[in-house]
Structure 1
């Protein structure tokens, strides 16, 4: 077991870099969950319903149509699930284009991947309009491919989104590292055979064999992800640095 500072895993022999880094969007790349909660609350209230923080957190990581269906079922508002999704997306795209809320360290880690020639994919259950608003806030070519919730048949926790991303990149999922903040997202990536770094934000993510966890993307770099891709795990519980085991 060794310890490293952020961005540089301690090892005399560095393992090969990941074949690709697969990024979740909401809650991982950008902290949009407060924006989603505000949009959900405003929409439900406008239609005579009630929506709580607990309700909003229960939707984290879900396919949007599942969230739309849940909102209708819980609140009884007179909209179809698709109408709920469409209305939420209008609000979310406007909010993200105004001020994309990137998580600390996310852009720096992306820049490191680009500089090293490691392809990055965005794998999100948000739809193309919202994903595009986030991607447009980054330098062109940051993401080699983008897989959105409206482009897959089965959303997270099904493995299809991550398998689709790996297939588009022409890489083995087992050589990819997925960054995720939600229970459905982690399940999806692990089912696809990816190595997972869980980055909890608004919901807790349990420890599990072979699963890495960090509190903050500023704590890790591409060298750490190389260790994860090689089958090791990382944890940043130690204040001195990331622990590789």
Structure 2
């Protein structure tokens, strides 16, 4: 393994003992579905894509609601996770967003990024274990919809985080648990993220490498928050760059 932080030019997946992937925006283009659902949820508040990146991206759902509302100087009671979808509490808004997300996912479906699929194939061939670490409580349905159920050795999602009372990103708790459940040392583990809160989680967990994938957050912002290096697509890290970037 390299004794200095790698660059994208000299990075090799097989130099490490395991890889922890965020899901939305890294493995699948579900960020687009999330953005659409958030946009519908907050349409009355002059919501923009910039709001998604600044206040919501990478955070647990209710934290995203609180963060966005705070940006508009709005305070609502938290309510309860069992609240019906609505607008009167943070949880009701979060549950409404979740309902919108699932409606869009069921209607439109999802497929993994081609380069992410190729990366998973490379890791499987090299016997390098991998995990999903996602703030979303929809990670398992998304993996199933994308044909990736059973593809990861470990899945740490919003359901697991809630059950164990883990702090959300930028806290490293989910990633540290992912490494623990894979049985690998964070110092020999790669984190792959597209959100500023996610690369911060990787940096805060002292992982060997935190790769930023720029799906709109920007290279500078990802580097500033803790990415070791940033790529536009994981195809840049495949031998010979054989896969065209973009959605399948």
TM-score category (smaller protein)? 0.7 to 0.9
- Match of residue 68 from structure 1: 65
| Equivalent position to 1:44, from 42, 45, 64 | 42
Query: Which residue of structure 2 lines up, in the alignment, with residue 24 of structure 1?
Result: 22
Higher relative contact order, chain-length normalized (CA < 8 Å, sep 6+): 1
Out of 212, 216, 230, which is 2:229 matched to?
Answer: 212
Task: Look up the match of 1:227.
Answer: none
SS in 2 for 1:62: coil
Aligned to 2:160: 151
- Change over 3 Å in CA distance of 1:158–1:25 after alignment to 2: same
Q: Separation in 1 of the partners of 2:126 and 2:95?
A: 38
Q: Structure 2-normalised TM-score?
A: 0.75
Q: Is the 8 A contact 1:123 1:148 kept in 2?
A: yes
Measure, in 1, the Cα distance between the counterparts of 2:13 and 2:176.
23
In 2 relative to 1, CA 140–39 (structure 1 residues): closer, same or farther, beyond 3 Å?
A: closer
| Offset from partner CA, 1:140-166 (integer Å, 9 cap, x none) | 431111111232220100010110100
Cα distance in 2, alignment partners of residues 210 and 54 from structure 1: 20
Unaligned runs of 5+ in 1: 1-8, 225-235, 237-245
Please report how far the alpha carbon of residue 16 of structure 1 lies from its aligned counterpart in structure 2 after TM superposition. 5.3
| RMSD of aligned residue pairs (Cα, Å) | 2.9
| CA apart distance, 1:30 | 1.7
Query: What TM-score comes out, normalization by structure 1 length?
Result: 0.75
Residues in 2 aligned to 1:102 and 1:10: alpha-carbon distance in whole angstroms: 25
**Cα distance in structure 2, aligned partners of 1:189 and 1:160:** 10
Match of 1:55 in 2: 51
Aligned to 1:199: 213
Within 2, Cα distance between the matches of 1:166 and 1:15? Answer: 16
Give secondary structure in 2 for the equivalent of 1:178. Answer: strand
SS class of match (1:105): helix
Displacement of 1:101 after TM fit? 4.5
Contact preservation (8 Å) 1:17, 1:118: no
CA contact (8 A) 1:23 1:121 kept: yes
Q: Displacement of 1:107 after TM fit?
A: 0.9
CA contact (8 A) 1:120 1:145 kept: yes
Instruction: Evaluate the alpha carbon distance shift between residue 139 and residue 67 of structure 1 in structure 2; reply closer, same or farther with a 3 A threshold.
Output: closer
Match of 2:191, SS state, is strand
The aligned counterpart of 1:4 is none
Structural mapping, 1:85-234, within 5 Å: 85-97=94-106, 98-127=108-137, 130-136=138-144, 137-152=146-161, 153-194=166-207, 195-206=209-220, 207=223, 211-221=228-238
Show CA shifts across 1:63-92 (max 9, x none). Answer: 211112234443858431111221112222
**In structure 2, do the counterparts of structure 1 residues 149 and 210 end up closer, same or farther at CA, with 3 Å as the change threshold?**
closer
Uncovered stretches (5+) of structure 2, i.e. residues with no partner = 1-8, 77-86, 242-248
Size of the aligned set, in residue pairs, is 211
